[in-house]
Structure formats: structure tokens, C-alpha cells
Chains A and B, each alone.
Chain A
Amino acid sequence: MRIGLRLEEHACHGVMLAGRTVVAAAAVLDAGSLTEAAEQALFRLGQIKAATVSEIVVDVGRVLTSRRLSSVAVIRVSPRPPADAFHTSRLPRIVEGAATRILHVRGGHDIRARELAPLDLASFKKNVATVVEGHRNVAITALGATSTDEHEARIADAILAHDSSVRISISHDFFANAFRDRDFTTTLNSALMETGEFLAITLEQLCRRHYPGAEVSFVKNDGGRARIRQLAGTPVHALHPEPASQLLGLALLATEPDCEVIMADDKAMTVGATRGGIPASSSLIRAGYEASLATNAAAVENYTANHPIHPLAPTVVADLRKDRGEPLPFGLNATFSTHEDAALIGCAAAPWTAWIDRLENVDNKEDLQQVQRLAEEDAKSIVIQSGGSPALTRIMESNAYALPYGNPGIVRVRVQAADESDHGNGVQPPHQQQRVAT
């Protein structure tokens, strides 16, 4: 059995799931602290069958969003500093205040990982004390970091040599073509690391105390989960998991693993899609003209009157409103309605997922196929290392993109792998269900 928790600063909602069935639920409101809320929720759920709980998946998105961001020293690496204020990379408002120090260091690579300017490590080392003074978090974004992490890693090493307790986030860990998107993501990630670290430690201890045999993980923005320890390093991937969890939960409840889901709640109508029970994702969370967040997240959009109907895939119109007196807007008929907390169920059912998103050099179709195969193997192996089943880990998405006006032969390879074994959606062929039962 699996537990899903949605944690808040003073509250915690939890469900216990057996397959698709909710066997227990708990809601703790107005607790004295986050720890207390989580502890109470775990305790209440555990009154039934604590020993049979094998997985605990936690949604920490609301905690990460509500807590104050830690201050970050932002280091940008490029051949020359901006000439004026207009050409200075601007951080989105939500993180602008957290970036309390911004420093330029000479360096950077091109897309072929060739050095554009030698890294000015000597001056950096001289000033490292002043750079990190008063900062426990540092974000480093270098030009060309999609092709190599060399300069970012060398700066990180220099900082750690000075003070090994500083938390460092480098932009090589996030895939986005635009410098400002990586700069934003790295900075935000860095600003969340302190909270991520706290949550990782707290949750692991709490869960171990109540459910010693259970695996603890957190749900990611793509609706999949990852080991709780990774929350300390890349908390940004845990920031907005709810839309994905909701999609996943609804697809599970509606027993439609491949479908378009139109969701009508009291506030809005949104639409997303699932494939193999997992939300269809995009690699960026866009925010209009501001920088985008480089994290794989469920693609959920507002539903409009012009929304095209896909004749081949089934559509689930989920009525999630509290009051169903009025008909749905746009003349839609609900195919499915529930008052269950679909996002929480989706969280409990989250499968292990992993992404590979990187640039590769290819000369021809054969090369392309090979790098794609390698990426698929890498993605699978990450899932399996997390705890996924070797037999039931599948490639959910595998694409190679040409880069317009890019160097000939450089392609972006993007792959998602997921463990399908713990998908309690009951639509798998019988031979795959065995592991679910054990």
C-alpha cells in the first residue's frame, strides 16, 4: 500500500491507497508546525495497517511556495559583463529579491563546448570570501553550460574549497536554451535549497519512525516521483507538482491511461493529457515574457471554446465542482465526476520517472538513433537505480530536436522513462500486474 501526503506549513492531507482504492484518509489542519502536521497525518493513517505500507510520496509544493526564499549569491559567467542596465539579464519578480548579490566572472563556452574566454578563476579566488559572505546559497550560470559544466564546476570547486558548507546550484543541471531561463531556474533552485534540505531530512526521519519499511519520495512537477534525498539538491522540480498529480490521479480514477482530461473545478477549466497514465509534459514552465522555469512539468492549459477535439484519443471531462447544479460551461457533458482529492491520489500513485535532456553531436541518422538509444538507456537506468523495476521501466517519450540555425549536427535529445510497475490503474496486461500485487 502507498501513502500520499500533501504538506503545508500547518496542515497535512494524506491518503492511503491500495491499487486505485482509497483505504484511509487523514486531514490535519491548524497544527502547531509542519513537523507536527506531518506526524499527525502519518499517525492517523497508520492506525490501520502500518506494516503493509511500502511507499510514501510527499507533495511539498505548497511548503516550497509559501516559505521565504533564502538569499542567493548569483554568479554569471560570460566573456564580458553587460554594457548597460538594459542588457543585464533580469530575474523574474518572484526571485529578484532573493538575489542579494550578483557577480560577473569572465569565462564561458560555445555550443561545441569550446572555450570562448578563459575562466578568470584567479580573480574569483581572490574575492571568493567577499562573494559568499553572508550567503549560504550560490547559483552559478555560465554561457554554454548546456554543452559543458566545466566553468561552473570550477567556480563551484573554488567556493567549496573556501567554505564547504555553501549550497551550490549550477545551471548545467537544468536544460533550457535561453541563458536567462537557466539563470532564473538555477537562482530559484538555489533559493529553495535550504527548505529542500530541511524537508528532506525531516520527512525521511518522520516516515522512518512511523513506517520503517517504507520508501520515502517526493512528487515532481511531471507527476513522477524521486527519492526524498534529491529534494535537497533540486527542490525546484518539486515546486509545482499539483497539476500533474491531479491529471495522473484523474486518469487513474477514470481508468483511462491514454486520454485528454478536461478538468472543471470551481475556479477554472483546464485541459491536459496523459500517456501511459503519465501526464504529457513540457520542459519549461512559461510565464509570459518573463524567464521560463526549466523543469519538466505537466502541460496543462486553460480550456477555450476553440479547443480542438482529437477524434482518436478518449476525452475525460471531469466535473470536480463542489456544486454541480449548473451545467458545465462550453456545453460540455461530464463523463466523470468525483469529490475525491485527485491530486492527492495522483501523488500517492506517482511512479518513478527520470528525464534525459541534453545536446548531442550527430552526423547522420544512424548517429541520431544511437544517441537516442543511449539517452533512453540512461533514463531507464536512473529510474531503475531509484527503485524502478528493470522489467517494467518504459520509455514514455523520446524525441530529438533540431536546433534552428544551430551548428549542423547538434541536436537536443529529450527522453522520459517511467516505472510502470506501481501504476495501480488496473489497465495493464495481466502479466504486468503481478508485481503490482506483490
Chain B
Amino acid sequence: MRTLTSIDVGHFSTGANFLACHIDPAAVFAYEDMIQRALPTGDVRLLSVGELDPEDLVVALGFVTQGLAIADMPPVGDEFIGCIREIEKKLGRKVSALYSLAAGNINGILPLMAGLQTALPIVDSDPMGRVLPLISQTTLSLGGVDISPIAVMGVTGERATLDVKDPHRAETLVRSLVIELGGWAATAMYPCTAKQLREHGIHGTMTRMIKIGEILDAEEAVERKYVQLVDLLNATRVARARVRHMESFSRERELGLPTQTTSLTLVDEVTGHIIRLEIENEILLVLVDGAVAAAVPDIVTLLSAEFGRVVNLDDVRVGHLLDVVVTPAAPIWYTDAGLNLAGPPAFGLPLQHPRRHD
């Protein structure tokens, strides 16, 4: 077990932003600020899943968003507590520890605040190992762990508990609730035993965010940071290229999915490679001269070549020089079942993942 310091929380926030795949970091920073202020009032305890009793009840916390962003509609503060209580009431037993629905972006960091509010420890595991847009896209779901009961609470104070077997149906139902709740809802879902989480979760993902932050926040040359990142994450720098063109609506999209599509074209000024990024909430696809260099569930991050800082899409302008860094997702995502759930076709891209072998 590890008790997080204020410095750890700072690194955690940087790591959460790195794994957010370009999403606006305002909410992550706002949460970090909140956690830093609340830190003197309690402890954030991070423990590995093996430290829990196998029968302990653990529950995933996460925001589900569609509409007003969290930064645009700040939480009142009682939403996650409400969700945890609802799950406890429903199952008739106490929750022993919390875990993050997705180890990245806002959902990566928010359990820290909930841990401070409830004095519950945070498990160093999650069911995505990155950020994926649908609540059904989890390794727990691949492992047959029930998603429900799901507790949902919005900024309005309105709440609901859902009992639904099929994770895809759960996604649809939660999503429609979220729209009516204003744009996001706090949720608690995948209540399971520590044993189930150990068998079907991805581990060490919270600590990984702190390590990423330690590297990126250090006062070091950009190239040195990259060497360490590659070492830690098995990542590759696909290109260093300049933004040439940006467009919206480059693909047709299905209504109902939480989505906006955008694409970026960059040119590597040394090799002449033309790099095209397809974006739908996060970066889904990297083409180098038309050939697939990376595709979801690979984690793609844009860093400024100048500072080695994470660049978010809002900040990208034509003429910027960016590094495109690809980090592989957890191995389970490259199995047939994993790619079916979270591979390119699941995002409307009719192509085979380069890591899929048939």
C-alpha cells in the first residue's frame, strides 16, 4: 500500500492527461486542484488488488459524459458518494475499495477525490487500461463480470439505479440518462469481488500514471524524456511532423454515439511522410503515407516537439510541430474478443488492426 503525496498527485494528473489522447485537460486539472486542497483532510491510499481479501466488494467509479463537459458543469461533490451508497444499499454489503473505470483522463484521477471523501482505498487496477468511450468496452465485460447494478447520479441531484444484463444495453440506457441529466453523470458500476477484479482487470495502471508524470514533469531535455517513456510504456514515436491541414466531419458518423469526427494531416519535414490522424473523441487511427501505423485500441498521444508536453486538440494549429507517440494497450485488447469490442470496426473504421493476426 502507498499513501500518495501532493507531488504524486501532481504527476498523477500529468499521466492522466497523457493517456487522455488529446481530450481537453481542464477537468483533470480542476480535479487535481480539488484533490490537492483536500489532501490535508485525509489520505489517498493506493493498494494492489492482491492486498484485498478476495471476497471484498470493489466498485468502479467513472463519469459518463455527453454534452456539457465536467469543467463546464462542475460537480456539486456528493455525486459519487451517492452512487457508492446506492450500490451498498442494493447489494446489502459495504464497499471495501474503489477503482477507476478508465485509467486515464478525468476517470483516472477522480477516484482519488472519492477516496478522500469516503476514506476508502483505491485499487491500482482498472478495466480499460486506457480511455475508451463506451462503458461496455472493458476487460471485465470480456471476462463476463456483470456491469450492474449501475448507480447514476447527475449534477441536478437526480439519481437512478439500473439493473441490466447486457453491457451494450447498459451503455445505451446510461447514455440516454446522461443526456437528460445535462451532459455527464457520476456512475458506480461493475461491482465485483477483489478476486474478479484480479482475474479480469488490468493492473498497475494507477501507478503507471504517476510514473508517466514523473518523466514528463521532470526538468529534462525532451529527447531524454522520450527515451524514458519508450522504456516505461513500450511506446514508439511514429513521427515528428508539422500540422498541415485540419478538418471536421471527415467521416460519416452514426447518431447516438458520443462523437465528433475530425482529422489532422501532418507532414514529416525530414522524411516527407504524410501522416493522417483520424479523431473521434480520441485519436483512433494513424496513417503514415496511407498505411496504418496505429489504430485503436493503441493509445495515441500528441506531444509538442518543443516542450515534450501533451498537446490537446483544442491547442493544435496548422504549423505546429508535433510528436506522434503510440503506446500499445493491454495485451488482452489485441485478442479477437478484445478487438471485436474495442478495435477499429467498433469505431466505424472498416479496417483490420495491424496487430491482429489471422
Residues of A with Cβ closer than 8 Å to B?
A: 78-87, 89-90, 108, 110-112, 116-117, 143-144, 146, 177-181, 280, 282, 289, 304, 306-308, 310-311, 313, 364-365, 368, 399-409, 411
Q: How far is the CB of B115 from chain A (nearest CB, A)?
A: 13
The distance in angstroms between the C-alpha atoms of A365 and B248, with both chains bound, is 8
How far apart sit A84 and B4, CA to CA, in the bound complex (Å)?
Answer: 22
Binds A, one of B21-29, B87-95, B140-148, B202-210: B21-29
Measured CB to CB, the closest approach of chain B to A174, in angstroms, equals 13
Compute how far the CA of A70 lies from the CA of B107 in the bound complex, rounded to whole angstroms: 39
Determine whether B218 belongs to the interface, using a CB cutoff of 8 Å to chain A.
no
Stretch from B50-58, B231-239, B256-264, B331-339 forming part of the interface with A: B256-264
Known: A180-B71, A411-B260. A307 touches B249 (CB 8 A): no
Expressed in whole angstroms, the Cα–Cα distance for A411 and B66 within the complex equals 13
In the complex, how many angstroms separate the beta carbon of A362 from the nearest chain B beta carbon? Answer: 8
Chain A residue nearest in CB terms to B305: A308
Which residue of chain A lies nearest to B255 when distances are taken between CB atoms in the complex?
A408
| Interchain CB contact under 8 A, A304 and B260 | no
Q: Give CA–CA (A180, B78) in the complex, Å.
A: 19
Q: Which residues of A contact B246 (CB under 8 A)?
A: 399
B278: min CB distance to chain A, Å: 12
Find out whether the CB atom of B34 lies under 8 angstroms from the CB atom of A86: yes
Contacts A178-B30, A178-B72; A368 near B248 (Cβ below 8 A): yes
A83-B78, A110-B183, A306-B305 known; A177 and B257 CB under 8 Å? no
Interface-side segment among B185-193, B306-314, B345-353: B306-314
Mark interface residues in B209-242 (1 if CB within 8 Å of A CB, else 0).
Answer: 0000000000000100000000000000000001
Write the nearest CB–CB distance from B268 to chain A, whole angstroms. 13
Number of interface residues of B (CB under 8 A): 61
How near does chain A come to B38, taking the closest CB pair, in angstroms? 5
- The chain B residue sitting closest to A112, CB to CB, is B67
Q: Is the CB of A306 within 8 A of B65?
A: no
- A117: min CB distance to chain B, Å: 6
Least CB distance, A329 to chain B, in whole angstroms:
16
Complex-state Cα separation, A178 to B23, whole angstroms? 13
Task: Specify which chain A residues have a CB less than 8 angstroms from the CB of B313 in the assembled complex.
Answer: 401, 404
Interface residues of B in 240-276 (CB under 8 A from A): 242, 246, 248-249, 253, 255-262, 269
Q: Which of B107-128 contact A (CB under 8 A)?
A: 113
Extra pairs beyond A78-B155, A79-B182 (13, CB < 8 Å): A80-B155, A85-B37, A87-B76, A108-B73, A111-B183, A143-B72, A178-B71, A181-B26, A308-B242, A400-B248, A402-B279, A403-B69, A409-B255
Q: Are A313 and B319 in contact (CB under 8 A)?
A: yes
B77 touches A84 (CB 8 A): yes
Q: 6 A-B Cβ contacts within 8 A?
A: A87-B34, A306-B222, A404-B24, A406-B66, A407-B183, A409-B255
Interface pair A405/B38, CB less than 8 Å apart: no
A363 to B147, CA, bound (A): 33
Q: Which residues of B are interface residues toward A (Cβ below 8 A)? A: 22-24, 26-27, 29-30, 32-34, 37-38, 65-69, 71-78, 113, 133, 155-157, 179, 181-183, 222, 242, 246, 248-249, 253, 255-262, 269, 279, 281-282, 305-307, 313-315, 317, 319, 321
A402 & B262 in contact (Cβ 8 Å cutoff) = yes
Q: When the two chains form their complex, are residues B74 and A180 in contact, meaning their CB atoms are under 8 A apart?
A: yes
Interface centre among A79, A89, A409 (most CB of B within 10 A): A79
Known contacts A82-B76, A86-B77, A110-B183; decide if A405 and B30 are in contact (CB<8 Å): no
The total of interchain contacts (Cβ-Cβ below 8 angstroms) comes to 150
In the complex, chain A residues whose CB is within 8 Å of the CB of B24: 177, 404
A80 vs B82: C-alpha distance when bound (angstroms): 14
Give chain B nearest CB distance to A171 CB in angstroms.
11
A82 to B38, CA, bound (A): 15
Q: How far apart sit A140 and B321, CA to CA, in the bound complex (Å)?
A: 39
Decide: B73 and A310 in contact? CB cutoff 8 A.
Answer: no
User: How far is A405 from B24 in the complex, measured between Cα atoms in Å?
Assistant: 10
Docked pose: A87 CA to B258 CA in angstroms: 26
In the complex, the chain A residue whose C-beta lies closest to that of B38 is: A86
Whether A407 and B179, one on each chain, are in contact in the complex, defined by CB atoms closer than 8 angstroms, is yes
Minimal beta-carbon separation of A78 from chain B (angstroms): 7
Q: Which residue of A lies closest to B13 (CB)?
A: A289
B281 touches A405 (CB 8 A): yes
Whether the Cβ atoms of B248 and A411 lie closer than 8 Å is yes
Known: A177-B69, A405-B65, A405-B281. Contact between A87 and B306, CB under 8 A? no
Q: Are A408 and B68 in contact (CB under 8 A)?
A: no
- From B77, B281, B319, A404 is in contact (CB under 8 Å) with B281
Residue of B29, B37, B77, B282 most packed against chain A (CB within 10 A): B77
**B34 lies within 8 A of A304 (CB):** no
Contact A178 B37 (CB under 8 A): no
Q: State whether A78 and B73 are in contact (beta carbons under 8 Å apart), knowing that A306-B305, A404-B260 are contacts in the complex.
A: yes
Contact A117 B77 (CB under 8 A): no
Instruction: Kindly identify which residue among B27, B77, B179 contacts A87, using a CB–CB cutoff of 8 Å.
Output: B77
Residue numbers in A under 8 Å from B156 (CB-CB): 79-80, 116-117
CB pair A180 B30 closer than 8 Å: yes
Q: How far is the CB of A105 from chain B (nearest CB, A)?
A: 14
**CB neighbours of A117 from chain B (8 A):** 156
Q: Shortest distance in angstroms between B111's beta carbon and chain A's nearest beta carbon?
A: 15
B261-A402 in contact (CB<8A): yes
CB-CB under 8 A for A405 and B23, given A86-B37, A177-B69: yes
Contact A144 B68 (CB under 8 A): yes
Which 7 interchain pairs have the tightest Cβ spacing? Answer: A402-B260, A87-B77, A83-B77, A308-B321, A178-B71, A306-B306, A79-B156
Complex CA–CA separation, A328 to B69 (angstroms): 45
Contact between chains at A368 and B319 (CB < 8 Å): no
Contact B67 A111 (CB under 8 A): yes
A382 to chain B, nearest CB (A): 24
Contacts of A304 in B (CB 8 A): 306-307
**CA A409 to CA B74, docked complex, whole Å:** 23
Among B27, B76, B78, B255, max chain A CB count under 10 A is at B76
Verify A408–B37 contact, CB threshold 8 A: no
State which of A87, A110, A282, A399 has its C-beta within 8 Å of the C-beta of B68: A110
- Of the listed residues B78, B222, B259, B260, the one surrounded by the most CB atoms of chain A closer than 10 A to its CB is B260
Bound CA span A418–B61, Å: 48
Q: From residue B273, how far is it (CB to closest CB) to chain A in Å?
A: 16
Given A404-B23, A406-B260, A407-B179, verify A177-B306 contact (CB < 8 Å).
no
Q: Chain A: which residue is nearest B155 at the CB level?
A: A79
**B-chain residues with CB within 8 Å of residue A400 when the two chains form the complex:** 248
* CB-based contact B74/A179 at 8 Å: yes
Give the contacting residue for A403; candidates B74, B260, B315; CB below 8 A: B260
| Residues of B with C-beta under 8 A to A310 | 242, 319
Residue of A nearest to B260 (CB): A402
In the assembled complex, the Cα of A178 lies from the Cα of B33 at a distance in Å of 14
Give Cα distance in the complex from A114 to B23, angstroms: 25
Question: Bound complex: CA of A330 vs CA of B329, how far in Å?
Answer: 40
Query: Does B26 lie within 8 Å of A178, measured CB to CB?
Result: yes
Report the minimal beta-carbon distance from A103 to chain B, rounded to whole angstroms: 16
List B contacts of A146 (CB < 8 A): 72
Q: B260 to A179, Cβ gap below 8 A?
A: no
Beyond A177-B26, A304-B306, whether A143 also contacts B69 by CB under 8 A is no
